Amino acid sequence: MTTPDKAARHVAIIMDGNGRWAKRRHLPRAMGHRKGVEAVRELVRSLKDTPVECLTLYAFSSENWKRPEEEVDDLMNLMRKFIKSDLPEFIANDVRLHILGDWRSLAPDIVEMLEDALAQTAQGSRTLAVALNYGAHAEITQAARKAAAEGEISQESIERHLFSADLPPLDLLIRTSGEVRLSNFLLWQAAYAEMLFLDVLWPDFTPDHLTGALAEFAERERRFGGR
């Protein structure tokens, strides 16, 4: 069993590989995204059996708008369906929703759904943070501007204005699909996070993969720049 001091409190995942999953099966990309949502659902359900207090998922980046309009529309519709179908389960399982990114610039009906979900889950003890219309460069830039407007630019003042300000420090960052890069995700928060790159496509990611990742994290020695 993982001891508390070796447990990852905050885990973030770059959910990569939906398109390749579909392509390998000669299916439309939309089917890969739908299967990816199912993987998210199962993972969130499994959190109660782990030491993870906060799970952050990279759902839609600010760069994803460059994708074909049909694919973006499908992703937005999936988001609508996921919020509507899973909100009661979040509430029942004491899960708090948190959003990172410029999500208020999404479609008005999605913004309204998210505002309602945030309000209804505000008292949850375990957090699901979702990065929507998110880019780390933009996050750091806006945080620095707000810090400067207050008259002080320091590490602490910038951190106070990050989207993750009220989340635990990031312990472990996972990327699926075998790609080895951060793709403008949590660049500030990942400064001393452990990283794990898995050669599994996101729709095939299961709670067992998370369990394995947490076990590997517990075996690592974190020095934070020291010896």
Q: Which residues participate in the annotated binding site for substrate? A: 17-21, 29, 33, 61-63, 65, 67, 175, 181-183
Residues recognised as catalytic: 16, 64
Q: Which residues participate in the annotated binding site? A: 16-21, 29, 33, 61-63, 65, 67, 175, 181-183, 194
Q: Which CA distances in Å does 142 have to 40, 136, 169?
A: 29, 10, 20
- Residues 6 or more apart whose CB falls under 8 angstroms from that of 75 comprise 33, 60, 64
DSSP annotation string for 74-127: HHHHHHHHHHHHHHHHHHHTTEEEEEESSGGGS-HHHHHHHHHHHHHTTT-SEE
Crossing angle of the two packed helices 29-46 and 69-92, in degrees rounded to 10: 20
Q: Which residues participate in the annotated binding site for Mg(2+)? A: 16, 194
Q: How far apart are CA 155 and CA 165, in angstroms?
A: 12
- Residues 6 or more apart whose CB falls under 8 angstroms from that of 208 comprise none
